Amino acid sequence: MSKAHRGKGILDKTNRSRGTCPVTGQTGVKLLYEQEIDGKKVNISKIGRAVLKNKKAAEAKKEAPAEKTE
């Protein structure tokens, strides 16, 4: 079956929600995810969202004390 309505929600947005991701710097990507960066809400790409999530997880792992097994 065809997917006639795919992406219909972003057609009315400026540039169809495409632009440069402020996190990764990639151009021409869909900026669909709203994220607060430095106290300002910006739209970021799917990959930019994953980058921020992975950075947060890495910081949490560093802060957590390492478990020792004996």
Q: Between the CA of residue 67 and those of 36, 61, 64, 70, what are the distances in Å?
A: 33, 11, 9, 10
Q: Band of the pLDDT at 6, cuts 50, 70, 90?
A: confident
Structural domain boundaries of the chain? 3-62
pLDDT digits (tens, 9 = 90+) for 13-60: 889 999 999 999 999 999 999 999 999 999 999 999 999 999 999 999
Cα–chain center distance at 63: 23
Q: What is the Cα–Cα distance from 17 to 44, expressed in whole angstroms?
A: 10
pTM for the whole structure: 0.75
Check residue 66 and give its pLDDT. Answer: 67
Percentage of the chain exceeding pLDDT 90: 64
Whether the per-residue pLDDT at 64 is higher than 90: the answer is: no
The per-type count for the chain, helices as H runs and strands as E runs, is 1, 4
Q: What is the Cα–Cα distance from 64 to 21, expressed in whole angstroms?
A: 31
Are the C-beta atoms of residues 30 and 46 closer than 8 Å to each other?
Answer: yes
